[in-house]
Amino acid sequence: MKMIEIVLLLLASNTLANAVSDRVDAPLLDRDNAPLVATLDLSNAKSVSKNMLSEAMETKMTDLVKMKLEEVLATLYLEEDVKRYIDNVKNNLTVNITDDIKRISDARILEKEPRRKDDRALSMCLGIKGSSYSHIKSVRRNCTSKTTCGSICKGVDNSLQCFNALHLYGRSESVAYSSAHVYGNGGCSATYCGPNYCCCFK
């Protein structure tokens, strides 16, 4: 209910209450249209009208308060829904960013792992042979290949000779060390799945 309606009701109630006195002379007509005069007792009209208007206003005010309360509650529910949506977006964004960082990091580690193994293999070949030879290479060998390290060294450079064979194991996140197996000179002729690096020199 609008405020203007409440004001009009208040004005109407005051006007009616002031206009009604305890007794009012009312002109009447009989069946023959002869004028008659009767005195009506309206002593209760004032209180009755006030009660009726009071009840009407109370009903209207109750409806108004209820309507406004529903609007406020609807606004609160909307704000809560928006807050919940924003929180969900933030949580999902955080999870996605964390997952993306881990995925990219793991991919970079896997990408660099072969080069790291190459460097480790070359370091081991140098350590095994020492500094008496000027040119040393470490060459990858497929573990399932039947080709010997002697042939692999010759395939890289015909002047290269095999002097050792290695198997380097991959790094694991669960352990804090690297490991390798050294086959010695006999590994240069191995045709089984063992050596995955050949040490060559010239």
Residue 199 has pLDDT above 70, yes or no: yes
| 121, part of any domain | yes
Coil, strand or helix at 196: coil
- Domain containing 137 equals 108-201
Residue 142 has pLDDT above 50, yes or no: yes
Confidence of residue 63 (pLDDT cuts 50, 70, 90): confident
Confidence of residue 2 (pLDDT cuts 50, 70, 90): very low
Instruction: Give how many domains the chain has, as a whole number.
Output: 1
The pair of three-digit structure tokens given for residue 66, joined into one six-digit string: 């209820």
| 44, part of any domain | no
The pair of three-digit structure tokens given for residue 165, joined into one six-digit string: 């064979």
| 37, part of any domain | no
Residue-wise pLDDT tens digits, 143-161? 888 999 999 999 999 999 9
User: Which residues touch 102 (CB under 8 Å, ≥6 apart)?
Assistant: none
The pTM of the full predicted model, rounded to 2 decimals, is 0.46
For the beta carbon of residue 151, count every other beta carbon within 10 angstroms: 16
| 151, part of any domain | yes
For the beta carbon of residue 85, count every other beta carbon within 10 angstroms: 10
Triad 93, 99, 104: Cα angle to 5°:
125
CA-wise closest residue to 139 among 197, 201, 190:
197
| 123, part of any domain | yes
